[in-house]
């Protein structure tokens, strides 16, 4: 455990009464006494968590300061969705704050600009009902209600979706009500008051469920607050100040029968605040010990007037830690971070303390699903389900959301799309009035503004409304849409335009055609890729007859020729001598190659085609065309030559036919035999001579690589200039690939090398294939190099690996036997436009995984949650594989499928994490290693693509709005 | 909490000859629809010594005010020179913009104003009787002094009567008394102070 007292978190020495960490963990709020008013301050969390951020002056510590409360603020609480902050104070008011998304950092008008507010939080609602100081406020689960309690002895339940509507005022306490807590299941709310009682109220009818008085009978009203807390599993309610044998305690009340048999003992003065950790924990499994099912437990922090803090685990009889003399005065409030490992405590002495625990100390937190499972077990319903049942009554909260919903409906019935003309989509532009920009308006404001005379002759000016604000009426359900432009900021009409007018992305009418085309394309790709895999051919050959002959002959011959088999293996693994590279797999975008050999002369032909335009039939035809030439040159394969392989991968962007011709023993000069390499493309040709017999030749649009019998490797430019002196290989070449300016060599001694011949660097240096080959009798069935220079090796056992040069590891990217592939069912997440994106090295290695899930649908007996988990695991694997293969288009493809799946299945946390990663930090932080791009795709652009997907599910509209706003904000920056 | 927040006041036509009208472009935000008009006033402080020389240059009603963000330009004629003590005509004084709702003042924005002769000759040897035609008015627009007051926004009749006739709080915006040319002693007035009525 680490302890920190950030001295910069203060209210200039005035007491801090309340502290609360924002659900996203990036900021926290404090409430207390200001100079001559109440004060709410929002602080940046990063400088608390990291020392370097604390020292970095560019990282703001204070984000926003709000002096609007007239008197001391007793409580600040973030809503569960993080959009709102509620504060209650001695001015009898509850204020609800919302971030004004479209205003950047600015000073308050008239302040001497010493501290600019980095974030702008606006009071969107004032809730007036209490006739005395408000002591505590609490948001119900899912932010349906907001409760506030007061020294007027009442508790007000506000409708958080329709402020300032009061659902109910709970009356019954006969003393100052000083603490509130909601049951995490949403069935109860509990309150503790100075009247020596703790009351539990039902949310169903807002009637008293139970009144607990015994443990409190000896209590005096000596504490400022009585912040009680409910455990995250809902089983226990722990009170603030209670007495047991005239000693101060925190009373534990069991949900089952409201029994009061246990308490937390040890504090020397009254307990002011109890706060349960939001996580449920289970014991950390030690290495080596047999895993035994341990009971999940909760963690609870207790703060007292005796200035000490204790942290308890319900699995232990004694406190985990007790910290004495943490403050000079009573502890007033405690808040945990959402991950359950951090804890902020504030005190009447005006300071806060941060405690940082490790998982070793607290245990392993259960994830949301496990937590839901516990709720399900105990209450027969999980919170997630509760959430779902409320959806029917969910209202759309903002116009952007509404737009997406409507757009989606239009897409579903294209006829409707025509009916709804463009006028439907023309929202009110906020800072352009009658075609004038704000600048123009300002110039002529004096002339244009409407001035009238009242009956008594006084001047009356009608102010020009530059932004109608609808957001104030319902903070719970509204969204500040107007672009709040301060006149000083020169207005840019385009910003508002982009907010409102966004043409629908794809005209629906074209999609059917497109789909058909896409399907065709993907089909072609599949045929192509499979056709080229000699090993796979056995299983899929029937579909591609013309290829069969070609490929089977290749395989046969490579068996027949002694070739590489005769080379002694230094490592002693046999598999590689069976390397069958006789047919190669190319870039997915569509090309093919044919090869033939003769006694002395070999011709490799390659026909490139533009991607996406070729069709299956065409491929076959061209191949057929190519064959006669080659057949004519074919000679009996009786020569004891080593296996000769030719590969030619040409860049997709070039069109036309490229020939690479090899003629071994073209002439004999003073006893040594020369080999000739001829290259021709679109009429341009060159040739060069090599002193040794050529065994493999391959090329790309940039380079041509040739491996010779004497274990040398030569690399030429596309114009025939030698790039580097011959590379001496440790063993004879087994497979050679070129892609762009990358050259990949697989030697007979089972090592892999990849060079960037342009930069003249080695990406992979003689890396052994041992790790992937050992323990199996698999052979290398296929290998290729992606355009980004990632080497991919497939084995005959159906596993495909790529070598990651930064991790220096072999990574499994595809496994035909993987049950996840067979059971993952994400078909309903694949949209018709996705087919194109799925082409790439990953698709190539995995074959047609659009067929995935077929098995799953047959295994209908599989429980849904199991399949859900498998699909999730599979999709995440795909995403990671695409990332490691540096395949941008596939990454995007799988990201969208993944997002759709998360949306469909309601994985909110993962979705949030995904969005957060794509959005990155809104504030600069030196410690953040966030990259703005992934595989050359801008993350925020990806988020822009993902958001509409999220917008399709109303359940995530808050998430949608939150990120939409932040994106918009970042764009304005 | 105030239902109306002043977001910005831009001083237009500044600096300008003494006789030009004052122009302030006011931007404000309103939390909810106001049933009654706002009343804005421009008060010119004629003399630092006494409030009796304060001149209300103009007062306008602004309305209707729905919830949202609004702006208007408040223009008022230059002060009546006859009401300004001759000794105070040149030098630093103050102009105040106030806003009242239901007769209760909730914001007071003050600017220091420096009146100076354009002409160096006149500046060094100012005439005994001020020559207003040669004076230039320079409003220190970058440094507004804002005082906010808590009022009862819901409105209450008796209170209205009372506050209607109450003089502005004397300490809310003190006009500095200092010799011309010297920078006004800033910092006398607390920024953003909040007083409860």
* pLDDT tens profile A201-239: 998 888 999 999 989 988 887 888 999 999 998 889 999
Q: Do A486 and B9 touch (CB under 8 A)?
A: no
DSSP conformational letter for A140: P
DSSP string of A171-185? E--SS-EEEEEE-TT
**Confidence label for A481 from pLDDT (cuts 50, 70 and 90):** very low
Q: Which of A27-41, A663-677, A847-861 has the highest mean pLDDT?
A: A27-41
Taking CB atoms and an 8 Å cutoff, what residues of chain A touch B64?
A: 462
User: Residue A851, by phi and psi: left (phi above 0), alpha (psi -120 to 50) or beta?
Assistant: alpha
Exposure b/e, A26-37, CB count within 10 A at least 16 = b = bbbbbbbbbeeb
The pLDDT mean for chain A works out to: 72
In a 10 Å sphere around its CB, with 0-12 CB exposed, 13-18 middle and 19+ buried, how is residue B105 labelled?
buried
Whats the size of chain B, residue-wise?
197
Pairing of strands A73-78, A672-681: unpaired
In a 10 Å sphere around its CB, with 0-12 CB exposed, 13-18 middle and 19+ buried, how is residue B59 labelled?
middle
B10 contact A CB<8A = yes
Please enumerate in sequence order all residues whose Cβ is within 8 A of that of A87, keeping only pairs 6 or more positions apart, or say none.
Answer: A29, A31, A38, A40, A69, A73, A75, A76, A77, A94, A95, A97, A137
DSSP string of A741-809? TEEEEEETTSEEEEEETTTTEEEEEEEESHHHHTTS---EEEEEE-TTS-EEEEETTSEEEEEETTTTE
Q: How far is B148 from chain A (nearest CA, A)?
A: 10
At residue A430, the pLDDT reads 39
What are the angstrom distances between the C-alpha of A481 and each of A469, B30, B67? 8, 15, 13
For A648-684, write each residue's pLDDT tens digit. Answer: 433 333 445 667 777 777 776 666 677 878 777 766 7
Q: How far is A393 from chain B (nearest CA, A)?
A: 27
User: Residue A394: CA atoms inside 13 Å, Cβ hemisphere, count?
Assistant: 20
Chain A interface disruption, residue of B25, B71, B98, B111, most A CBs within 10 A:
B71
Choose among A447, A383, A453, A428: nearest CA to A186.
A383
Residue indicated by tokens 């013309």: A546
Q: How many pairs of residues across A and B have Cβ atoms under 8 Å apart?
A: 120
In this prediction, residues A380-385 reach a mean pLDDT of 49
For A596-641, write each residue's pLDDT tens digit. Answer: 333 333 333 333 333 333 333 333 333 333 333 333 333 333 333 3
Reported pTM: 0.47
Taking CB atoms and an 8 Å cutoff, what residues of chain A touch B69?
A: 465-467, 469, 482, 484
User: Residue A400: CA atoms inside 13 Å, Cβ hemisphere, count?
Assistant: 24
Q: Do A459 and B194 touch (CB under 8 A)?
A: no
Taking CB atoms and an 8 Å cutoff, what residues of chain A touch B67?
A: 468-470, 472-473
In this prediction, residues A328-351 reach a mean pLDDT of 92
3-class DSSP assignment, residue A547? helix
Q: Do B8 and A445 touch (CB under 8 A)?
A: no
Exposure b/e, A390-426, CB count within 10 A at least 16 = b = eeeeeeebbbbbebbbbbeebbeeeeebeeeeeeeee
Q: Which of A308-312, A562-566, B146-150 has the highest mean pLDDT?
A: A308-312
The distance in angstroms from the start CA to the end CA of chain A is: 39
Strand partners of residue B115: B91, B137
Q: Are A470 and A481 in contact (CB under 8 A)?
A: yes
Choose among A665, A594, A578: nearest CA to A633.
A594
Q: Is the pLDDT of residue A466 over 90?
A: no
Q: Is the pLDDT of residue A798 over 60?
A: yes
CA gap A169, A962 in Å, rounded: 31
Q: Which residue of A has its CA nearest to B5?
A: A109
For A489-535, write each residue's pLDDT tens digit. Answer: 333 333 333 333 333 343 333 334 433 344 444 333 333 333 333 33
Please enumerate in sequence order all residues whose Cβ is within 8 A of that of A279, keeping only pairs 6 or more positions apart, or say none.
Answer: A232, A299, A339, A340, A365, A366, A371
Q: Do B32 and A473 touch (CB under 8 A)?
A: yes
**Confidence label for A479 from pLDDT (cuts 50, 70 and 90):** very low
At residue A286, the pLDDT reads 60
In this prediction, residues A89-113 reach a mean pLDDT of 70
Q: Do B61 and A461 touch (CB under 8 A)?
A: yes
At residue A835, the pLDDT reads 54
Which ipTM did the prediction report? Answer: 0.75
Q: Least CB-CB distance to A446: which of B31, B75, B109?
A: B75
CA gap B176, B2 in Å, rounded: 28
Q: Are A705 and A668 in contact (CB under 8 A)?
A: no
**A175-184, A528-537, B150-159: least confident range:** A528-537
At residue A75, the pLDDT reads 95
CA gap A112, B189 in Å, rounded: 11
**Confidence label for A190 from pLDDT (cuts 50, 70 and 90):** very high
B55 contact A CB<8A = no
At residue A272, the pLDDT reads 94
User: Residue A142, by phi and psi: left (phi above 0), alpha (psi -120 to 50) or beta?
Assistant: left
For A46-83, write each residue's pLDDT tens digit. Answer: 999 988 888 888 888 888 888 888 889 999 999 998 88
Q: Do B60 and A487 touch (CB under 8 A)?
A: no
For A238-292, write each residue's pLDDT tens digit. Answer: 999 999 888 899 999 999 889 998 899 989 999 999 999 999 998 866 655 555 5
Q: Which residue has the higher pLDDT, A105 or A753?
A: A753
In a 10 Å sphere around its CB, with 0-12 CB exposed, 13-18 middle and 19+ buried, how is residue B167 labelled?
exposed
3-class DSSP assignment, residue A634? coil
**A216-230, A607-621, A786-800, B17-31: least confident range:** A607-621
Rg, chain B, Cα only: 17
CA gap A888, A890 in Å, rounded: 5
**Confidence label for A437 from pLDDT (cuts 50, 70 and 90):** low
Exposure b/e, A599-635, CB count within 10 A at least 16 = b = ebbbbbbbbbbebbebebeebbebbeebbeebeeeee
In sign, the C-alpha dihedral spanning A905, A908, A910, A913 is positive
Distance of CA B119 to the CA centre of its chain: 27
**A422-426, A729-733, A880-884, B70-74: least confident range:** A422-426
CA gap A266, A269 in Å, rounded: 9
At residue A945, the pLDDT reads 85
* Whether residue B15 has a cis bond before it, omega within 30° of 0: yes
**Confidence label for B1 from pLDDT (cuts 50, 70 and 90):** low
**Confidence label for A850 from pLDDT (cuts 50, 70 and 90):** very low
Find the Cα–Cα–Cα–Cα dihedral A373, A376, A378, A379, rounded to 10°. Answer: 150
Q: Least CB-CB distance to A460: which of B1, B60, B144?
A: B60
Q: Which residue of A has its CA nearest to B186?
A: A112
Residue indicated by tokens 């020495």: A13
Q: Least CB-CB distance to A472: which of B31, B74, B191?
A: B31
Please enumerate in sequence order all residues whose Cβ is within 8 A of that of A478, keeping only pairs 6 or more positions apart, or say none.
Answer: A124, A397, A398, A470, A471, A472
- The contact set of A with B (CB < 8 A) is 36-37, 67-70, 93, 95, 108-112, 123, 126, 442, 445-446, 449, 454, 458-470, 472-473, 482, 484, 486-488
At residue A32, the pLDDT reads 92
Taking CB atoms and an 8 Å cutoff, what residues of chain B touch A472?
A: 31-32, 67
Q: Is the pLDDT of residue A477 over 60?
A: no
B61 contact A CB<8A = yes
DSSP string of A252-304? EEETTTT---EEEE--SS-EEEEEE-SS-EEPPPPTTSPP-----B-EEEEEE
The distance in angstroms from the start CA to the end CA of chain B is: 13
Rg, chain A, Cα only: 35
Q: Least CB-CB distance to A486: which of B27, B73, B75?
A: B27
Q: Which residue has the higher pLDDT, A556 or A720?
A: A720
In a 10 Å sphere around its CB, with 0-12 CB exposed, 13-18 middle and 19+ buried, how is residue A459 labelled?
middle
Q: Are A711 and A696 in contact (CB under 8 A)?
A: no
Q: Least CB-CB distance to A487: which of B8, B58, B192?
A: B8
Please enumerate in sequence order all residues whose Cβ is within 8 A of that of A246, keeping only pairs 6 or more positions apart, or say none.
Answer: A218
Q: Do A109 and B7 touch (CB under 8 A)?
A: yes
């Amino acid at each position: 455990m680490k302890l920190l007292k950030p001295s910069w978190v203060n209210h200039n020495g005035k007491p801090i009464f309340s502290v609360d960490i924002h659900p996203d963990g990036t900021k926290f709020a404090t409430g207390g006494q200001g100079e001559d008013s109440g004060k709410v301050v929002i602080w940046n969390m990063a400088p608390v968590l990291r020392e370097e951020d604390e020292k970095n002056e560019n990282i703001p510590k204070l984000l926003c300061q709000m002096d609007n409360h007239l008197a001391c603020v007793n409580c600040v609480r973030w809503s569960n969705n993080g959009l709102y902050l509620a504060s209650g104070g001695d001015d009898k008011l509850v204020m609800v704050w919302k971030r004004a998304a479209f205003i950047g950092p600015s000073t308050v008008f008239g302040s001497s600009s010493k501290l600019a507010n980095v974030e702008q939080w606006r009071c969107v609602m004032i809730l007036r009902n209490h006739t005395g100081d408000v002591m505590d406020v609490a948001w119900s689960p899912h932010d349906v209600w907001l409760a506030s309690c007061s020294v007027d002895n009442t508790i007000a339940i506000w409708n958080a979706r329709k402020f300032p509507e009061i659902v109910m005022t709970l009356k019954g306490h006969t003393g100052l009500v000083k603490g509130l807590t909601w049951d995490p299941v949403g069935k109860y709310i509990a309150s503790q008051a100075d009247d020596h009682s703790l009351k539990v109220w039902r949310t169903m009818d807002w009637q008293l469920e139970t009144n607990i008085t015994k443990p409190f009978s000896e209590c005096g009203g000596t504490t400022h607050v009585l912040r009680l807390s409910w455990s995250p599993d809902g089983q226990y309610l722990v009170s603030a100040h209670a007495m047991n044998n005239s000693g101060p305690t925190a009373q534990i009340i069991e949900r089952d029968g409201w029994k009061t048999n246990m308490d937390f003992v040890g504090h020397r003065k009254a307990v002011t605040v109890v706060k349960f950790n939001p996580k449920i924990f289970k014991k950390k499994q030690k290495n080596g010990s047999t895993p035994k099912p341990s009971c999940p437990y909760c963690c609870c922090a207790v703060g007292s007037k005796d200035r000490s803090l204790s942290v308890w685990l319900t699995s232990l009889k004694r406190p985990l830690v007790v910290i004495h003399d943490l403050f000079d005065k009573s502890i007033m409030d405690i808040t945990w971070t959402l991950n359950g490992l951090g804890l902020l405590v504030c005190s009447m002495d005006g300071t806060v303390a941060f405690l940082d625990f490790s998982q070793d100390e607290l245990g392993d937190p259960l994830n949301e699903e496990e937590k839901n499972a516990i709720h399900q077990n105990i209450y027969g319903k999980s919170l997630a389900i509760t959430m779902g049942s409320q959806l029917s009554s969910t209202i759309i909260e903002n116009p952007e959301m509404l737009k997406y919903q409507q757009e989606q409906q239009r897409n579903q019935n294209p006829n409707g799309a025509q009916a709804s003309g463009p006028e439907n989509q023309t929202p009110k532009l906020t800072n352009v009035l009658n075609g004038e920009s704000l600048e123009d308006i300002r110039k002529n404001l004096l002339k244009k503004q409407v001035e009238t005379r009242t009956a008594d002759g006084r001047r009356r000016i009608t102010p020009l409304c530059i932004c109608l604000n609808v957001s104030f009426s319902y903070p719970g359900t509204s969204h500040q849409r107007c672009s709040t432009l301060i006149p000083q900021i020169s207005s840019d009409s385009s910003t508002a335009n982009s907010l409102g007018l966004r043409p629908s992305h794809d005209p629906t009418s074209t999609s059917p055609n497109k789909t058909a085309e896409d399907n065709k394309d993907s089909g072609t790709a599949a045929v192509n890729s499979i056709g080229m895999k000699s090993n796979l051919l056995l299983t899929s050959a029937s579909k591609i007859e013309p290829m069969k002959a070609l490929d089977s002959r290749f395989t046969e011959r490579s068996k027949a020729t002694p070739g590489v088999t005769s080379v002694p293996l230094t490592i002693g693994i046999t598999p590689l001598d069976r390397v069958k590279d006789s047919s190669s797999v190319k870039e997915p975008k569509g090309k093919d190659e044919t090869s033939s050999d003769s006694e002395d002369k070999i011709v490799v032909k390659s026909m490139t085609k533009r991607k996406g335009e070729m069709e299956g039939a065409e491929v076959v035809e061209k191949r057929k065309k190519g064959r006669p030439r080659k057949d004519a040159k074919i000679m009996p394969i009786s020569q004891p030559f080593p296996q000769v392989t030719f590969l030619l991968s040409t860049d997709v962007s070039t069109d036309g036919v490229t020939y690479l011709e090899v003629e071994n023993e073209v002439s004999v000069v003073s006893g040594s035999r020369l080999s000739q390499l001829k290259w021709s493309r679109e009429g341009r040709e060159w040739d060069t001579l090599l002193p040794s017999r050529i065994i493999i030749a391959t090329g790309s649009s940039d380079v041509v690589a040739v491996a010779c019998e004497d274990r040398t490797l030569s690399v030429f430019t596309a114009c025939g200039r030698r790039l580097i002196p011959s590379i001496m290989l440790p063993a004879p070449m087994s497979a050679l690939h070129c892609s762009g300016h990358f050259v990949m060599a697989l030697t007979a001694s089972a090592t892999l090398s990849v060079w960037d011949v342009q930069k003249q660097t080695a990406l992979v240096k003689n890396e052994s294939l041992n790790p992937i080959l050992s323990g199996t009798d698999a052979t290398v069935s296929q290998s290729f190099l992606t355009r980004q220079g990632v080497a991919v090796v497939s084995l005959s056992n159906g596993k495909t690996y790529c070598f990651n040069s930064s991790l220096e590891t072999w990574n499994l990217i595809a496994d035909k036997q993987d049950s996840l592939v067979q059971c993952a069912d994400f078909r309903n997440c694949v949209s018709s436009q996705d087919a194109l994106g799925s082409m790439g090295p990953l698709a190539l290695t995995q074959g047609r995984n659009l067929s995935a899930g077929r098995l799953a649908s047959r295994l209908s007996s599989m429980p849904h949650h199991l399949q859900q988990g498998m699909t999730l695991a599979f999709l995440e694997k795909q995403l990671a594989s695409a990332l490691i293969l540096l395949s941008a288009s596939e990454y995007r493809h799988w990201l969208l499928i993944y997002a759709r799946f998360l949306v469909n299945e309601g994985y909110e946390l993962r979705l949030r994490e995904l969005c957060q990663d794509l959005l990155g930090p809104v504030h600069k932080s030196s410690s953040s290693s966030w990259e703005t791009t992934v595989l050359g795709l801008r993350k925020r652009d990806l988020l822009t693509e993902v958001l509409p997907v999220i917008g399709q599910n109303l359940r995530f509209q808050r998430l949608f709005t939150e990120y939409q706003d932040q994106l918009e904000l970042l764009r304005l920056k | 909490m105030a239902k109306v927040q002043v977001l910005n006041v831009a001083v237009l036509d500044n600096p300008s000859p003494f006789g030009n009208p004052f122009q302030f472009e006011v931007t404000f935000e309103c939390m909810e629809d106001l049933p009654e008009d706002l009343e804005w006033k421009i008060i010119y402080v004629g003399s630092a010594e006494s409030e009796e020389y304060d001149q209300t240059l103009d007062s306008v009603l602004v309305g209707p005010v729905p919830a949202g963000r609004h702006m208007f330009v408040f223009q008022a004629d230059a002060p009546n020179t006859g009401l300004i003590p001759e000794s105070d005509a040149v030098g630093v004084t103050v102009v105040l913009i106030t806003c009242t709702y239901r007769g209760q003042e909730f914001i007071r924005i003050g600017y220091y104003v420096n009146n100076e002769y354009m002409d160096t000759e006149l500046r060094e040897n100012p005439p005994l009787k001020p020559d207003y035609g040669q004076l230039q008015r320079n409003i220190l627009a970058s440094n507004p002094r804002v005082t906010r007051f808590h009022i009862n926004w819901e409105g209450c009749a008796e209170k209205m009567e009372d506050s209607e006739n109450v003089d502005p709080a004397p300490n809310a915006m003190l006009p500095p008394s200092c010799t011309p040319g010297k920078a006004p002693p800033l910092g006398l007035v607390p920024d953003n102070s909040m007083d409860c009525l």
